[in-house]
Amino acid sequence: MSLKIYLDGNFVPEENAVVSVFDHGLLYGDGVFEGIRAYHNRVFKMEEHIERFYESAKTLTMELPISEEEMTEVVLETCRRNDLRDAYIRLVATRGKGDLGLDPKKCPRPTVFCIAASIQLYPDELYTKGLEVITVATRRNLGEACNPRVKSLNYLNNIYGKIEANLAGVPEAIMLNQEGYVAEATGDNIFLVKKGKLITPPIHAGILEGITRNCVMDLAREKGIPVEEKMFTRHDIFNAEECFLTGTAAELIPVVKVDGRTIADGKPGQMTWKLIDAFRELTKVDGPQIFK
Ligand code: PXG
């Protein structure tokens, strides 16, 4: 069945959901996006996603044509139109149509669209067995050059990382920052467990401030687990008790091997399972309902 896509104020069948070849989202990767999930008839962490979307747009000086409240309704209505209660939602705002020069001033109006569908990043069995990953030579973007905090349509840095993982035959890559500290995976944040503490790189490591990351830190604190945001290196991953990745698309997924080194006993750890359970419970109650 053809999906119904929200595009600039209308819901159109996917065959008709097209943007111009002069759209600067396509020509220059000039735009912002969010990947959002709905679980059990609720859009998980809706407010956080909408807030980050508008903040990314603000930094790029993109004035979105509708309010945050209206954008929230767009997301909910896109799910309704496709009869989805569990979904992976892609909300996008591009710079819009311009000329063949890169100047955003020449683009009068952003293009906004929203897709509600589904996604599976990794095969099911990897969620129980854990991932093998590598660190890659491509460094994460320098914050002062292309700020990783902005969830922009310019994902080539991450795609380079993914290409290196593909070439090495593993499903995911860990990217280091310019100083050699661990930053994040290509589309996920990273966590370690060491001596009962949960450790994740700080925002100034040059990462996206993941909504799942923040949620997992909150859940851990609620459970009395100490959480630290601090820089760490590959050495710390090799010697961690547990390691996992977080992201809207990936959710929480254990990592059991990095650069050929097995983490602890090579099985997903207790703290990881505990946080996965807590996360699943939260998805049942968090966020606005799609159908009343
Ligand atoms: N870091 C980066 C670079 C991301 O793109 C995350 C962390 C996790 O953030 P959230 O807020 O989702 O917890 C992301 C988001 C994909 C894919 O296909 C992944 C993301 C976005 C779009 C597609 O792997 N990750």
Helix segments in 65-145, DSSP class H = 68-81, 124-129
Which protein residue has the closest C-alpha to ligand 1 atom 8?
247
- Mean pLDDT to the nearest integer, 91-98: 98
- Mean pLDDT to the nearest integer, 277-283: 98
| 168-191 pLDDT, tens digit each | 999 999 999 999 999 999 999 999
Helix segments in 130-249, DSSP class H = 156-168, 211-222, 234-238
Query: Dihedral sign, CA of 205, 209, 211, 215?
Result: positive
- Is 284 one of the annotated active-site residues of the chain? no
Task: Choose one of 189, 207, 209 to mutate for the ligand 1 pocket test, by most ligand atoms within 8 angstroms of C-beta.
Answer: 189
Between CA 181 and CA 178 the distance in angstroms is 8
pTM for the full model?
0.97
Between CA 37 and CA 141 the distance in angstroms is 26
Residue 121 has pLDDT above 90, yes or no: no
Residue 110 has pLDDT above 90, yes or no: yes
In this prediction, residue 217 carries a pLDDT of 98
**Ligand 1 proximal residues by C-beta, below 6 Å:** 35, 121, 158, 184, 187-189, 208, 210-213, 246-249
Task: Choose one of 248, 283, 286 to mutate for the ligand 1 pocket test, by most ligand atoms within 8 angstroms of C-beta.
Answer: 248
3.20.20.80, 2.30.110.10, 3.20.10.10, 3.30.950.10: which CATH number matches 124-282? 3.20.10.10
Strands 182-185 and 131-135: unpaired
In this prediction, residue 40 carries a pLDDT of 97
| 217-243 pLDDT, tens digit each | 999 999 999 999 999 999 999 999 999
Give residue 16 CA to ligand 1 midpoint distance, Å: 27
In this prediction, residue 203 carries a pLDDT of 98
Which of 4, 151, 197, 292 is catalytic? The answer is 151
| 10-34 pLDDT, tens digit each | 999 999 999 999 999 999 999 999 9
Kindly state the percentage of the chain with pLDDT values over 90: 97
Give residue 187 CA to ligand 1 midpoint distance, Å: 4
Helix/strand/coil for 176: strand
Q: Tell me the residue ranges of DSSP E strands in the chain.
A: 4-7, 10-13, 31-39, 42-43, 87-94, 111-117, 131-135, 172-176, 182-185, 189-194, 197-200, 227-229, 242-247, 251-258, 261-262
In this prediction, residue 197 carries a pLDDT of 98
**Average pLDDT across the chain, whole number:** 97
In this prediction, residue 1 carries a pLDDT of 78
Give residue 22 CA to ligand 1 midpoint distance, Å: 27
| 50-72 pLDDT, tens digit each | 999 999 999 999 999 999 999 99
Give residue 89 CA to ligand 1 midpoint distance, Å: 12
Between CA 255 and CA 263 the distance in angstroms is 8
C-alpha distances in angstroms, 271 versus 76, 175, 240? 33, 24, 12
As given in the structure block, the two tokens for residue 214 are 């923040």
pLDDT band at 120 (very low <50, low <70, confident <90, very high): confident
Count Cβ atoms below 10 Å from residue 271 Cβ, excluding itself.
20
Q: Do 230 and 201 meet the contact criterion of CB atoms below 8 Å apart?
A: yes
* Phi, psi dihedrals of residue 247, rounded to the nearest 5°: -175, 160
- Mean pLDDT to the nearest integer, 38-59: 98
Which protein residue has the closest C-alpha to ligand 1 atom 25?
187
Q: Which residue has the tokens 């111009």?
A: 20
**Which ligand 1 atom minimizes the distance to the CA of 158?**
3
Domain ranges of the chain: 4-117, 124-282
Specify the CATH number of the domain 4-117: 3.30.470.10
In this prediction, residue 20 carries a pLDDT of 98
